[in-house]
Amino acid sequence: MNIVVCVKYVPDAQADRTFEDADHTTDRVGVDGRLSELDEYAVEEALKIVEAGGGEGDQVTVLTVGPESAAEAVKKSLQMGAHAGVHVSDDAIAGSDAAATSLVLAKAIEKLGTETKVDLVLTGMASTDGTMSVVPAMLAERLGLPQVTYASEVTVSGDSVTIRRDGDASTQTITSSLPAVVSVTDQINEPRYPSFKGIMAAKKKPVQAWGIGDLGIDAGDVGLAAAWTTVESVTARPPREAGQVVTDEGEGGAKLAEFLVSRKFV
Ligand SMILES: Cc1cc2nc3c(=O)[nH]c(=O)nc-3n(C[C@H](O)[C@H](O)[C@H](O)COP(=O)(O)OP(=O)(O)OC[C@H]3O[C@@H](n4cnc5c(N)ncnc54)[C@H](O)[C@@H]3O)c2cc1C
């Protein structure tokens, strides 16, 4: 089984995030970045599927589209256990929207498929920066593959994949033929930490570096100028107002009740 996992390099969600003044794209220069937390679940699931299958030649390839620093997302995935990596980077890609991002990912997966047939594409359910949650669907459409989203369990059997999809009121079990694009949630597993052995082994794993020329993509089809949508303004959330402190001097309960009634909470 040959699995491709799409992993995104994003600004660390724990740190302050800012936007470029000129075009409102995420400021990615000079900020701490990391492999999107939600994509770690996709990497872990791919590793589990390959480990359970035990087939010779089975492998997990991680694919990222992003600036030079995005190589870190590939590196972390290789340290976790992925077998190979692909990093697509090109100045022309900067500022791409979800549509252009999915184009680059699709072309890279097609190119990988000419080397070895791709059986399954796994993605996170959303990136932790853009949070568009649409790249997997766009990718499936471009590749002409079935897509199932928000999997909290994935079982591969023969030439099909079955997922569990948990909703608020019901749980669905969906089966799709392979190859397919599957996005996974953070309920699916517990991503492993890279071991020392994994960190050392990652240094020797193959990583291919491609630009848009290698993928037959025209510069006019990617980047900010080609985006179908534009973020017109970005405003920082106002700081939280200080809360009201109720000092209990024997009538704390009554004061709390008064407060809740005044706000129409009860
Ligand atoms: C301030 C700001 C301005 C923006 N401006 C525009 C704009 O003008 N026009 C516009 O259309 N969009 C704009 N975007 C959206 C931005 O381009 C998106 O981040 C990008 O298009 C992909 O969407 P996403 O990362 O939210 O993907 P999602 O759909 O949330 O990602 C889902 C999954 O797809 C995979 N994936 C996504 N991206 C990659 C990648 N690069 N490499 C590998 N795997 C990936 C991962 O597995 C991920 O978990 C803007 C975003 C921000 C925050």
Give pLDDT tens digits for 79-119.
Answer: 999 999 999 999 999 999 999 999 999 999 999 999 999 99
Q: Is the CB of 19 under 6 A from ligand 1?
A: yes
Residue 22 pLDDT > 90, yes or no? no
| Mutation test residue for ligand 1: of 3, 8, 96, 234, the one with most atoms within 8 Å of CB | 8
In angstroms, the CA 122 to CA 183 distance is 6
| Mutation test residue for ligand 1: of 109, 129, 231, 234, the one with most atoms within 8 Å of CB | 231
Average pLDDT, rounded, for the chain: 93
In terms of pTM, does the model score above 0.85?
Answer: yes
In angstroms, the CA 34 to CA 119 distance is 27
Report, as an integer, the average pLDDT of 136-143: 98
In angstroms, the CA 83 to CA 146 distance is 25
| Percentage of residues in the chain having pLDDT higher than 70 | 98
In angstroms, the CA 125 to CA 123 distance is 6
Expressed in angstroms and rounded, the spacing between residue 125 Cα and the centre of ligand 1 is: 12
Residue 28 pLDDT > 80, yes or no? no
- Residue having the nearest C-alpha atom to atom 7 of ligand 1: 230
pLDDT, tens only, 190-240: 999 999 999 999 999 999 999 999 999 999 999 999 999 888 888 888 888
Residue 123 pLDDT > 70, yes or no? yes
